[in-house]
Amino acid sequence: MWMPVYRGLSILAGPLIKAILERRVAAGKEDPHRLGERRGLATQQRPAHKTVVWIHAASVGESVSALPLIDHILINDADAFVVLTSGTLSSARLMANRLPERAVHQFAPLDRPRWVRRFLSHWQPTVVTFIESEIWPNMIVEAKAAGLPVILVNGRMSVKSFKQWHRWRRLSQALFPKIDLVLAVDDSAATHFSALGARQVAVSGNLKLASPPLPLISADHHAFIAALGDRPIWLAASTHPGEDDIVLAAHAHLVQAHPDLLTVIVPRHPNRGGEIRDMATASGFSAVQRSEGRLPTPQTAIYVADTLGEIAVFFAAAPIVFVAGSLVPVGGHNPLEPCHFDCAVLFGPLMHKNAAIARRLLACGGAIEVSDAADLARQVGRLLTDPELGHIQAAAAATEARRNIDLIGTIYNQVAAFLKPSGQHHEGP
């Protein structure tokens, strides 16, 4: 019953959705030149005689985690072509520079039947793959109506999400059995997906464990190192509102013992760069923004790295990295990314999106959990004072990061079993 209700409401809500999109354009949250993609209107041609794989990811983190899978698909099938969709400007900009040949980015069609059918009609994919927790009813229903297999890779299902889906069990009972394969990150998620009706569920492990090191542009790295000189440095990576003031408070503690310290803040959303610079200035610190083309000078206390796709430059320069999104209720970002660069890693207690990775790093001595600004300052200060401790921690973290790179082969093999010719697609009313 609830599936027809959902579909009916999504059809009737067309004018409202279009108005919301227009407001998002005005707010700088949508690309006005690519707005048609949100309605399923492709801005690129489908390549002829190619096996098209549609991979849908929510934003930056999920898109980055999909890159090793995309590489495996393209390396193992010369006729394959990947369409990666996501819903944020930041992910679109990053993927423009990170996607390999024979792969393109499109903004995901919003979950309205006609728009999804329009997308499917143009791209004619052979398989639909969702990353992590991207479960959209109309996308799944329309894919199945077109005879396509639907796969959920790196499937996550928290207790809270499970309870919500269970509360709407008539919808979930109509939806989850349509998913052909769920590759869950752990046993708990697998149990939840099975209980909701998914037919084939396997525990594949976490796709993020298989991520290779982020690409590093040597010229940018050398320029930053030259500007840094021999100053001590630490990095707060992918911060969210509420964390920047914590980092600035930690910096205020740390400069008492390390007066020439440089603190680098990389905001998760670069458009917050000016706001963070103003916060730092109001706290009495000299701050500059990378988006303005500036490098730190000896007088710079806070360097706001508000650009996309350059975080590896700072991982490679900073021996100590605080992984943000973990002192505010965001769920924490991937703590393995800095581990590939021999960094000592710290994060807060709110790491539920990467809980298994966090536990493994803590267990092997590759990470430290901090609770607040004072604790963050204390732990960073300890590592600055005794670099050998940081080297030991970084070595343990690097070993853990490299342990699971082969995992992607297992995940690819399970996805590859569904790469088969697609059926005919059509666009209805």
Residue 358 to residue 351: CA distance in whole angstroms = 7
Residue 26 to residue 321: CA distance in whole angstroms = 35
Name the nearest CA neighbour of 285 among 313, 307, 317, 263: 263
Name the nearest CA neighbour of 58 among 165, 205, 156: 156
| Sheet strand arrangement including 201-203 | 103-107, 80-86, 51-56, 127-131, 150-155, 181-184, 201-203
Report how far Cα 36 is from the mean position of its chain's Cα atoms.
Answer: 24
Residue 45 to residue 32: CA distance in whole angstroms = 19
**Location of structure tokens 């979950």:** 111
Residue 62 annotated as catalytic = yes
Residue 315 to residue 308: CA distance in whole angstroms = 14
Backbone φ, ψ for residue 298 (5° rounding): -60, -20
Residue 193 to residue 195: CA distance in whole angstroms = 5
| 30, 37, 62, 243: the active-site residue | 62
Bridging pattern class, strands 150-155 and 287-289:
unpaired
Residue 66 to residue 406: CA distance in whole angstroms = 15
Backbone φ, ψ for residue 193 (5° rounding): -65, -40
Tokens of 187: 């046993």
Which residues have C-beta within 8 Å of that of residue 299, sequence separation ≥ 6? 286
Buried-state track 140-176, b at ≥16 Cβ within 10 A, e below 16 = bbbbbbbebbbbbbbbbbbeeebeebeeeeebbebbb
Active site residues: 62
